Amino acid sequence: MVPALLLGFLVCSYCLAVNPDSLKLSQQMLGAGINFMFFTVGWHYSKQAFGCMMVYAAYDRYPLDRWQRESLRFSLLSLWWYNFTNANQNPTGSFWSLTYSTWQLPRWLYVGSFWVFQLMIAVMLYQVLYRNWKAGLRPSPTFLIPYVAMMLWFAPCFRQPDFFFYVVPFFHSLQYLTFVYRVERARPSIRESAGRATALILGLALSGWMCFEVVPGNLDMSMDAMTTFGFSFCLIAFNLFLNIHHYFLDNVLWRVRDDELVRQALFSDPL
């Protein structure tokens, strides 16, 4: 259902873009899609980082009660919202040469999200690290890395545009692939060598580069999109389709209720 709706949206945008009289409407549609994409991407990244931390806590037998888990989850979600409100303080944004209108969220919402973000960091430090530290429990680096990575990736004070748009998605995808590999390795019937697994990961990374950059970029060049539309239509379309569809797909996967899968992922012998 979601792929069909996305394809319909993009086909409609293209049909409007090829007509100079309706090009402005196509730009507005794509701008709305870009805003929605950034909204879903931040939520998805936060949820994946939270899931990583839960799995690593289970590996390390690092206890987390309900309040500790919730403080972690809302700390990551507050970072997502703080980042999104910050990006929407400017009236316009630019994505692959398309200038679009942001949601222009009010200043008070941005300031409020900043202070909520600071508060949730303090709550997380107390609830998770300090309480367990007093009990003689120390977190492993693998438990902390997803949280620290999200701070470096998404906090506006650390953002570097090229790093944010190119390197962060790559490592986010790599983080996801390691979990897929971990679950598959837990199945008795699947015992691939480390070399084959590495080749698979590199192949998938190459496929991602082809899908996000090479194929749409060459399509834009073949149709002379910059001259025809004034922006890279195919690069925008591919990014919208892949990112938004990925959000809905992973939203289902992270909510899976398969007891056997959970047992394999969390409680089988670590690699």
- Res. 166: pLDDT tops 90: no
- What per-residue confidence (pLDDT) applies to 27? 96
Q: pTM for this one?
A: 0.82
Distance CA 22, CA 16 (A): 5
Q: Are 152 and 55 in contact, with CB atoms under 8 Å apart? A: no
Percent of the chain with pLDDT over 70: 79
Distance CA 249, CA 243 (A): 10
Percent of the chain with pLDDT over 90: 51
- Res. 188: pLDDT tops 60: no
Identify the weakest region by mean pLDDT among 158-162, 188-192, 266-270: 266-270
Q: What residue ranges do the domains of the chain occupy? A: 21-267
Helical ranges in 155-193 per DSSP H: 161-162, 168-186
Residue 159 structure tokens: 């953002």
Which residue from 193, 176, 162, 194 is spatially nearest to 47, judged by alpha carbons? 176
List C-alpha distances in Å: 242 to 1, 13, 14, 173. 14, 16, 17, 12
Average pLDDT, the chain: 84
